[in-house]
Amino acid sequence: MSAEIKVLSAGAVQPGLVKVIDAFRRETGKEVSVTFATTPTIRQRLGSGETTDLVIAPPDLFDELEKTGTAADRGAVGRIGVGVMVRHDAPLPKIATVNEFKQSLLNAESIVYNQASTGTYLDGLFDHLGISAQLKAKTTRYTDFAAVRDHISKGKGDEIGLGATTVIIESASKGLKFVGPLPVEIQNYTTYAAIVIATSPVKDAAMALLRHLTSPVAKTIFTAAGVE
């Protein structure tokens, strides 16, 4: 029996990735295990010496790994934008324009988002829009999207959540409603890529998975899940 390919991946690509990997398993018969984490956690885990075979994360993390010779090969996966969500029975806030989005945030009782790539961008965006001070007291941040989802879906009142569009869309059956993406003028895309770790004991199999992740078939699956 062939050795298992271990994948450490950012959570935002999960909705598309699980389907792409299922197709890879069926096609090759190879076993793949995936652990999802935020980018800061991935950086920390790799820095502490955790072993894995393939990593999916924003490219800036790989720049660091390539400098140390850790990366064997790299391929692009796609990009994901930021979206707005509310509780399934809540009215939809207006977000079609930058001014509408800004006013909806100011009117909301609370704002919820994560501490990962999306959250970092939103901090800068709110500064740029000049509303950081007004939002600070009513903002709650969590380490990952699952906690943001649970907060919004089980909450009450006028709450607005923000996160990667992929995971919001996937959570439609879990008490959330996808309002829409950020207005194009302030949209931010996080790009994701995959690398094979040079010291992987199953490097050939990991390279085959990398080729599959960047294939036309995989791109079709990712696009359907919201990964452009």
Same domain, 112 and 30: no
Question: Would you state the pLDDT for residue 2?
Answer: 63
Q: How many domains does the chain have?
A: 2
Global pTM reads: 0.77
Distance CA 140, CA 58 (A): 24
User: How many CB atoms within 10 Å of residue 31?
Assistant: 14
Residue with tokens 């400098």: 67
Please tell me the distance from the alpha carbon of residue 166 to that of residue 164, in angstroms, as a whole number. 5
Q: What is the pLDDT of residue 97?
A: 97
Tokens encoding 119 = 């959250």
The verdict on 178 and 164 lying in the same domain is yes
The per-residue pLDDT for 67 is: 75
- How far is Cα 127 from Cα 140, in angstroms, rounded to an integer? 16
Q: Are residues 113 and 56 in the same domain?
A: no
Q: Domain range for residue 75?
A: 5-79+191-224
Q: Are residues 181 and 202 in the same domain?
A: no
Q: Indicate whether 123 and 182 sit together in one domain.
A: yes
CATH of the domain at 174: 3.40.190.10
pLDDT at 179 (0 to 100):
96
Could you tell me if 32 and 126 lie in one domain? no
pLDDT value, residue 66: 75
Residues 106 and 66 in one domain: no
Q: Do both 180 and 196 map to the same domain?
A: no
pLDDT tens string for the chain (228 positions)? 468 999 999 988 999 999 999 999 999 999 999 999 988 889 899 888 888 999 999 888 887 777 777 777 889 999 999 999 999 999 999 999 999 999 999 999 999 999 887 899 999 999 999 999 999 999 999 998 999 999 999 998 999 999 999 989 888 889 999 999 999 999 999 899 999 998 999 999 999 999 999 999 999 999 888 898
- Does residue 136 sit in the same domain as residue 116? yes
